[in-house]
Structure 1
């Protein structure tokens, strides 16, 4: 086993492996999306028990193997407990993590998407913001970061001026100012319609978490 590597990131997925281990998918700043096995993490006395569940953010010490990493230590700075304990927020959060996994690759810088995901989960904790607005902003910014958002969409003369302004703002705004506005129902209806159109156009898969979100949260509401 080589030298230990410290990576900063978030657990996107976690599943049992063997009798006591866990297989996790981490989105990291340094190595992008990686798979890391945590030996004995399902034991009640394991120091990795709480660190190998989705949403946790921190610094992970791993060893690089041939096909995966081995996690040996985790220093968690945010468990996003408020998101976990709110059913609707947790459903949205799971969807955001699945989208983040879709847009990231192993051994490529994952900092931009990781920072977006972190800011978005924090936005879910703001009761003044509508979760559907957060969803559309997240999807739009993720596409911008991936270099596939059609910037001319913000210049569509058929849209309300306020809608065009909101689109331009999201495209250009830094992360710390991304989730700082609300929209009137009329403007948001157009804003969401635009984003849903580009979701259908640009994304070539169905997200299981979004189907669950629609069934348990959106349709129920």
Structure 2
């Protein structure tokens, strides 16, 4: 059995290892989370250059390690997402999506749809710096994980006079069973566009009170699911 494998992946994060190396954490469609060492990457003349920075989409050859750390031997860049990396606002949104994926992807478990969804979201962010790119990604991630909110009718009784959103109940609430946080009619419409197959229309909406509601709802829904606060939350709030 070969000790080498080739795969594609999106870099989620990196951290230092010894004086000149880094551990690279990626999501791969066929292998889920990969943690691998890039030797000498912090040296000025590293063969890897900037090809293993967060958000980068790469094709690589990897040597399978004995433990949970593999070794990257060759890398080819498929997409740098340069527009994102050169724009702090876009980069902040992208890092928030990477953090979310990092929390749910599992090692040695194929993540074809999650990888595809993240790649599509990064490409969308390159073209459209909408305030709803990251919140929409959060909501769709919840759907993929089997915890998507119910937004078409009251979770409790099926009524359509929606006035609130509850993470505990798993979706929108009517006036009779109201709990959670208030939600406006325009925000409800946006939720339904995002989760109803009309994401493009939602992303074309200008920033408004309704988009801010969606940002808050999506972030808190994801944090409720993860049972932890996102580190990038404070960056998105600035």
- Aligned pairs for 1:47-86 (under 5 A) are 47-66=47-66, 67-86=68-87
* Cα contact 2:103–2:226 (8 A) shared by 1: no
**Residue 152 of structure 2: which of 144, 151, 154 is its match?**
154
1:96-141 CA-to-partner distances (Å, cap 9, x unmatched) read 10001111110111222222211222222234x522x112101100
Aligned-pair CA distance for 1:36: 0.5
Task: State the alpha-carbon separation in 2 of the partners of residues 54 and 170 from structure 1.
Answer: 26
Q: 1:200 to 1:4 in 2, by over 3 A?
A: closer
Aligned-pair CA distance for 1:6: 0.7
- May I ask how many residue pairs the two structures share in their alignment? 209
Question: Bigger CA drift: 183-192 or 104-113?
Answer: 183-192
Does the residue aligned with 2:62 lie in a helix, a strand or coil?
A: strand
TM-score by length of 1: 0.83
Q: Tell me the equivalent position of 1:24.
A: 24
Q: Tell me the equivalent position of 2:103.
A: 102
- Aligned pairs for 1:171-186 (under 5 A) are 171-173=195-197, 178-181=199-202, 182-183=204-205, 185=208
- Aligned pairs for 1:1-221 (under 5 A) are 2-66=2-66, 67-127=68-128, 129-131=129-131, 133-150=132-149, 152-156=150-154, 157=160, 158=162, 163-164=187-188, 166-173=190-197, 178-181=199-202, 182-183=204-205, 185=208, 187-189=210-212, 191-192=214-215, 194-214=217-237, 218=238
* Cα contact 2:193–2:201 (8 A) shared by 1: no
TM-score by length of 2: 0.77
Aligned-pair CA distance for 1:142: 0.5
Q: Which runs of 5+ in 1 are unaligned?
A: none
* Cα contact 1:134–1:179 (8 A) shared by 2: no
Structure 1 segments of 4 or more deviating over 6 A? none
Task: State the alpha-carbon separation in 1 of the partners of residues 72 and 219 from structure 2.
Answer: 38
Question: Bigger CA drift: 138-147 or 158-167?
Answer: 158-167
Q: Which runs of 5+ in 2 are unaligned?
A: 155-159, 164-183
1:146-190 CA-to-partner distances (Å, cap 9, x unmatched) read 11113x3232421577655543443353xxx74453336365355
Does the residue aligned with 2:7 lie in a helix, a strand or coil?
A: strand
Question: Bigger CA drift: 195-204 or 2-11?
Answer: 195-204
Q: 1:83 to 1:161 in 2, by over 3 A?
A: same
Q: 1:20 to 1:193 in 2, by over 3 A?
A: closer
Task: State the alpha-carbon separation in 1 of the partners of residues 223 and 35 from structure 2.
Answer: 29
Question: Bigger CA drift: 185-194 or 15-24?
Answer: 185-194
Question: Bigger CA drift: 186-195 or 93-102?
Answer: 186-195
Choose between structure 1 and 2: higher helix proportion: 1
Does the residue aligned with 1:50 lie in a helix, a strand or coil?
A: coil
